[in-house]
A and B are shown apart, each in its own frame.
Chain A
Amino acid sequence: MGRILIRKFLETFGFVLFITFISFLFIRMAPGDPVLTILNVDELSVSQEQVEALREEMGFNQPLLVQYGQWLLDFVRLDFGQSYVTGQPVMKMIMGGLPATLELTGGALVIMLLIALPLGSLSALYRNSWIDQVSRLLSIIGAAIPSFWLGLILIDLFGVRLGWLPTMGRDGWISLLLPSLTLGLAISSVYVRLLRSSLLDSMGQEFVRAARARGYSEARIFWVHALRHSLPPVITVFGVSLGSLIGGVVVVEVLFAYPGIGKLVVDSIRQRDYPLIQGYILVMAALVFVVNTLVDLSYRYLNPEMKLKERKAG
């Protein structure tokens, strides 16, 4: 177990370095740099000389590899730099927004589970019945509705017409409801279908037949054997898509003025705020690593076969 973790960590470290390098290259090759933003050319008189001088001073005229080397050197010293736009330390800005984004992702997950577990299970248990048809229809609708539109509809309904819920900001769990619902509804459709097909697959397995032969109740067969066996594929997909889920909350963050990092990074890309972009990518890579490790570990719990195989091999 410890060896696995260490190996995984080293792998990830190499991978993170690779990602930071690639992202560094891509973002610097994109046209533009933050010099004009820093000088606020939209409102302040600036001469071309001043633009060039700042570009030189900030090292944007140096070869890319030299610039990356400099970033790497700072990174090794755990110095992630300061935002060009706000002058604040990058890590402080990211850590300021991360809890809000995690809250939002967590809230969306709860909503997703509340929808996907019952609906997915029922559609599998009562295959091709009316409930399966309804869940299929809902999944298609859920996948087709853009989240900004769904969000506006929810705001109009719960904020304007009913006046039950706040539609903006981050003031305790009540302000988390609408954004979580928006995001959760949007992602649940995939998982409903995934859980259904995975469950159907498990229900046809031999161990289910064996369990039936032993005379276990259908409920026990479902909860203890089939459901547990059908979770790994669902969790795999989840682990892979969590990164994009966190990245994709930006629409919901903007709509509900929820101060997370999605918004922060989109702005930083627009303004070519390089240190912030690099810092974000680093944090995201670390987060995805943690989640994927947890996902890997969960297999061992959900599927005892793996533990047995390991023991044999070890």
Chain B
Amino acid sequence: MGLAVLLLAVMMLGACSSPSSSAKEQGKHVSFLYNFSTNSLDPHVDSSYVPIRAGITETLVRLDEDNLTVAPWLAESWEGTDGQNWKIHLRDDVTFHNGKPLTGDSVKASLERAMKESVAVKNALKIKSIQAEGNTLQIVTNQPFPEFISELVNPNTSIIDVTETDIVNKPVGTGPFQLASFTPGSKLEVKRYDSYWDGASPLDGVTFAFNEDANARSLALRSGQVDIVYRPEVESLDTLDAEPGIKVESTSTFRVHQLTMNMERPALQDVNVRRAMDALIDRQKIVDTILLGHGEAATGPFLPSLPFAPTYEPSPMGADAAVDYLQQAGYSLVNGQMQKDGKPLQLTLLTYPARADLPLIAQVFQSDAKKIGVGVEIRQIDTPEDYMAANRDWDLATYSNLTAPRGDAGYYLNATYHPDGALNFSGAEDPKLTAIIDQLNRTVQPEKRGVLAEKAADYVHENVINSFVLHPSTIVAYNEEKVKNWVTTRSEYYMITNKLDVM
């Protein structure tokens, strides 16, 4: 009993110390509900990228959502013909939220802090030295590194005033909104920055709240507590869409769900077996039944709207095509089982629950394989990257990857197909493909890089090194009677912008 009183007292104290609600609802205000939560707003470390998404910080360059190319942002222009010595010209009309102007020195300090705080950023930028002169930066990379500029799209390279003391709780950036308050793990309030260089927002403020439960997010929109929800519950989308005033929008992302093929396994070393696996994946059925239509069937790794995504010739698909390929590989149907030299074709398929679609895709594949006499054993694992790297006792794996998160193919091709890449789980060590990627790594000009990326994607497709299932969509639902100019971006980096408005 005494304990209960004690806890009650603690509770009261806590309740008294938290700020009282409903103080803000004056003026033009939008409430946004996001599907991740964060305890830190440090733009250089926080992997949920909330500072850039909430419109607090900006990067030197951004992804142009229309053309899917790298576009100027805080940087006005850049030069770097040899891929190693870069000259970046900054805009001269940008100020931080504390009024200080953006200069070469402040950008240098910000990039240096990002590299110091995050080993991931340090690895990604490969910067050897930075020199600042007025509004110009001279950057030298450790090696010729043509995708350097596109790496600056990374939200963890956001430019902030590093002389501010509490970067974890109050980063000071250059975006259209400045931070008003932050409750770790719960929400942040931002207010308009009047001197924003690209035109101040028409809104007075935005609440950027977190909720990691999809059902709760949908309900929050229906109850009117929030105006925009990111990734509402897919199962209840019809109910949501039917509600008057609520609009559901979906856009394909740069992510691809793929079937990774372990090329070190004897059966899969035969390209015809890999083709059979590829033909077996009923992509449209998977999109329609598992994602309820909120996705796009994939042929290759890159979203078709990307400039370097190849156009593919339709190849034979379905169970009959799969049987044909297997027969070409020397398999025949004996007692309902596909066999070669008396050995049945039995495959182990890895999947993991962190992405809920993947185990379902694995099940669809298993059942389709069974129909043509191919045995598939599904194995659930917990940490896919570690498991796939450490164990080679599997044949196929469902996996999900961002293929061009910053508008450049270099990341995905290097990580997944270069023998040295950290995500090369198929064990691809194809000299021809490696040569294309190496050439890509030396090529600076965007058009030429595009040609090489396309060539690599074509090579992957022809040789069926991995098979691609679908590009899942980002779904956003919002109150269309209130919210104006909401754009669901494919990069998912830019959410609260200076264009967002209310009716």
B231-250 interface mask toward A, CB cutoff 8 Å, 1 = contact, 0 = none? Answer: 00000000000000000000
- Interface flag for A91 (CB, 8 Å): no
Is the pair A32, B14 in contact by a Cβ cutoff of 8 Å? no
- Interface flag for A2 (CB, 8 Å): no
Total number of A residues with any Cβ neighbor in B under 8 Å: 76
Hey, which chain B residues are within 8 Å of A238, CB to CB? 3
CA–CA, A148 and B420, complex, Å: 44
Chain A: minimal CB distance from B436 (Å): 16
Stretch of B70-78, B184-192, B321-329 at the chain-chain interface: B184-192
Is the pair B225, A87 in contact by a Cβ cutoff of 8 Å? no
- Given A87-B45, A167-B219, answer yes or no on A38-B119 (Cβ-Cβ < 8 Å): yes
Interface residues of A in 71-130 (CB under 8 A from B): 85-88, 93, 96-97, 99-100, 102-103, 105-107, 109-110, 113
CA–CA, A100 and B210, complex, Å: 16
- Interface flag for A19 (CB, 8 Å): no
Hey, which chain A residues are within 8 Å of B401, CB to CB? 42
Is the pair A36, B39 in contact by a Cβ cutoff of 8 Å? no
Hey, which chain B residues are within 8 Å of A159, CB to CB? 219-220, 223, 225
CA–CA, A263 and B185, complex, Å: 9
CA–CA, A44 and B3, complex, Å: 50
Is the pair B210, A103 in contact by a Cβ cutoff of 8 Å? no
- Interface flag for B4 (CB, 8 Å): yes
CA–CA, A8 and B11, complex, Å: 27
Is the pair B42, A160 in contact by a Cβ cutoff of 8 Å? no
Chain B: minimal CB distance from A238 (Å): 8
- Interface flag for A156 (CB, 8 Å): yes
- Name the residue among B12, B223, B415 with the largest chain A CB count within 10 angstroms: B223
Is the pair A109, B8 in contact by a Cβ cutoff of 8 Å? yes
Hey, which chain A residues are within 8 Å of B314, CB to CB? none
Hey, which chain A residues are within 8 Å of B119, CB to CB? 38-39, 54
Chain A: minimal CB distance from B2 (Å): 6
Stretch of B18-26, B198-206, B478-486 at the chain-chain interface: B18-26
User: Closest A-chain residue to B418, C-beta based?
Assistant: A47
Chain B: minimal CB distance from A32 (Å): 4
- Given A39-B119, A48-B420, answer yes or no on A255-B410 (Cβ-Cβ < 8 Å): no
Chain A: minimal CB distance from B234 (Å): 16
- Interface flag for B88 (CB, 8 Å): no
Contact pick for A46, options B42, B212, B415, CB 8 Å: B415
Contact pick for A50, options B15, B46, B422, CB 8 Å: B422
- Interface flag for A27 (CB, 8 Å): no
- Name the residue among B37, B117, B411, B422 with the largest chain A CB count within 10 angstroms: B422
Is the pair B385, A41 in contact by a Cβ cutoff of 8 Å? yes
User: Closest A-chain residue to B400, C-beta based?
Assistant: A42
User: Closest B-chain residue to A58, C-beta based?
Assistant: B119
User: Closest A-chain residue to B216, C-beta based?
Assistant: A255
CA–CA, A260 and B11, complex, Å: 13
Is the pair A46, B186 in contact by a Cβ cutoff of 8 Å? no
Can you sample 17 A-B contacts with CB below 8 Å? A31-B383, A45-B411, A45-B414, A88-B168, A96-B39, A102-B14, A110-B4, A152-B216, A160-B223, A167-B216, A167-B223, A169-B209, A170-B183, A171-B18, A257-B209, A257-B216, A294-B2
Residues of B within 8 A of A (CB): 1-4, 6-8, 10-12, 14-15, 18-21, 33, 37, 39-40, 42, 45-47, 117, 119-120, 123-124, 154, 156, 168, 183-187, 209-213, 215-216, 219-220, 222-225, 354, 381-383, 385-387, 390, 401-402, 405, 410-411, 414-415, 418, 420-424
